Amino acid sequence: MDKVLIVTGGSRGIGAATARIAGRRGYAVCVNFLKNKVAAKQIVDKINADGGQAIAVGADISKEEEVLELFSTVDDRLGKISALVNNAGILESQMRIEDMDSKRLNRVFLTNITGSILCAREAVKRMSIKNGGNGGTIVNLSSAAARLGSPGEYIDYAASKGAIDTFTRGLAQEVAEEGIRVNAVRPGVIETDIHASGGEPGRVERIKDTIPLKRGGKPEEVARSIMWLLSSESSYTTGALLEVSGGR
Ligand code: NAP
């Protein structure tokens, strides 16, 4: 298979939507998950039922040894990867800075920043033509929060996505001559479980009137932008931060 994709956090939300569309577009897909094996298995079953090829692999991307295991499992079961969607990301309860402790900050930064960088490292090792690979594409999930700052909600999460923007620009230049393109999408308010993690499941409803398009986005609407960045349709695009935020 020449199109092999890992989607981190592919069991739910934007990652699950991306995995499903990728399966339909001829990628062999690894659906990574943290805890929700049942949801990951359901996505894999749907991809296989659509005539695609997919596997579910559990791994906590904030832990280096689990990242190594994830990539070597994909080497063995699907072959050399050509695409990575660095999608897994977390936020925690809405609060002001006075109430944030270092444990929380480290959890958010470990998953959102360290985990994404470790996964990109393993992808570059395999994709870079300098290392004997065939090139590839990486899409990182940033957020409109990197631009807006998320005051009063989760400035730590917003800061972690600012790091992803900088990482995207730097890595894109570092590996541009090695056959690898690196881009990021910055979703706005998308209808997924992530808002419940912040303690406000109804956040999309509260915010929607402040969005020029007057609604939250669907995971599939972000997934289609990710797929464009993964595809050769975007062959001259690298180091880009693509807003998918309904104009907000
Ligand atoms: P979500 O619905 O909360 O799903 C999160 C996914 O990440 C789940 O599949 C979860 O696995 C997985 N995950 C969490 N921590 C992980 C870890 N340490 N290792 C491996 N997998 C892990 O999230 P989402 O809303 O789809 O968001 C996806 C990405 O888009 C995130 O990076 C997020 O920051 C970004 N984003 C989202 C929005 C939005 O409004 N939804 C806006 C801007 C940016 P389990 O199912 O096993 O728990």
User: What is the domain-level CATH number for residue 110?
Assistant: 3.40.50.720
99 Cα–ligand 1 center, Å: 23
Find out whether the beta carbon of 90 lies less than 6 Å from any atom of ligand 1.
yes
Q: What is the mean pLDDT of residues 9-15?
A: 98
Which residues constitute the domain of residue 178? Answer: 4-244
* Residue 157: predicted pLDDT: 98
Find out whether the beta carbon of 216 lies less than 6 Å from any atom of ligand 1.
no
Q: How confident is the model at residue 60 (pLDDT cuts 50, 70, 90)?
A: very high
Task: Answer yes or no: 27 catalytic.
Answer: no
Is the pTM higher than 0.75? The answer reads yes
Find out whether the beta carbon of 190 lies less than 6 Å from any atom of ligand 1.
yes
* Burial of residue 209, with CB atoms counted within 10 A of its CB: 0-12 exposed, 13-18 middle, 19 or more buried: exposed
Does residue 1 carry a pLDDT above 80? no
8 Å CB contact between 215 and 205: no
Most informative mutation of 14, 64, 118 for ligand 1 (most atoms within 8 A of CB)? 14
Read off the pLDDT of residues 20-52 as tens digits, 9 standing for 90 and up: 999 999 999 999 999 999 999 999 999 999 999
Number of domains in the chain: 1
Q: Which amino acid belongs to residue 89?
A: G
What one-character-per-residue DSSP string does 14-27 give?
HHHHHHHHHHHTT-
Find out whether the beta carbon of 14 lies less than 6 Å from any atom of ligand 1.
yes
